Amino acid sequence: LSNECCDANLNSIMTDAASLSRDAVHLGDAAKYIQRRIQLRYGTSFEVVMSKSNFALSTFYHGSNSCKIRDDKYYYLAYATPIPYDPFDIDQEDLLASIDSEEPLGCKA
């Protein structure tokens, strides 16, 4: 793994979660798994991005809870959301998570 992390604990959580979820059928499900593992540990909301190729992201987030790692299959990025919400509000979390898990993630329809 190659990584750019400001937080060693976040790096560890992401690395473990990525290895357990990287073979999921849908990237959205894998990203959701990683996101929930991080949110359970930190108790606040995070965004997670997965991609088959390197990428850049512009966000309003400013802080030390960010991490970008890479393995032989994907690039992974996680960061605390710029405007936190309660990740333990299951209805809201499922609604927010379903928005991107239903996307084709680069696949042509």
**How many CA atoms lie less than 13 Å away from 39 in the CB half-sphere?**
21
| Domain 2-101 sits in CATH 3.40.50.300 | no
**Residue 5 has what pLDDT?**
86
Question: What is the mean predicted confidence (pLDDT) over 87-109?
Answer: 69
Q: How far is CA 71 from CA 13, 53, 74, 103, 108, in A?
A: 14, 11, 6, 23, 25
Say yes or no to pLDDT of 34 above 80: yes
Whether 34 contacts 109, CB under 8 Å: no
Confidence of residue 1 (pLDDT cuts 50, 70, 90): very low
Q: 30, 28, 37, 22: which is closest to 74 by C-alpha? A: 22
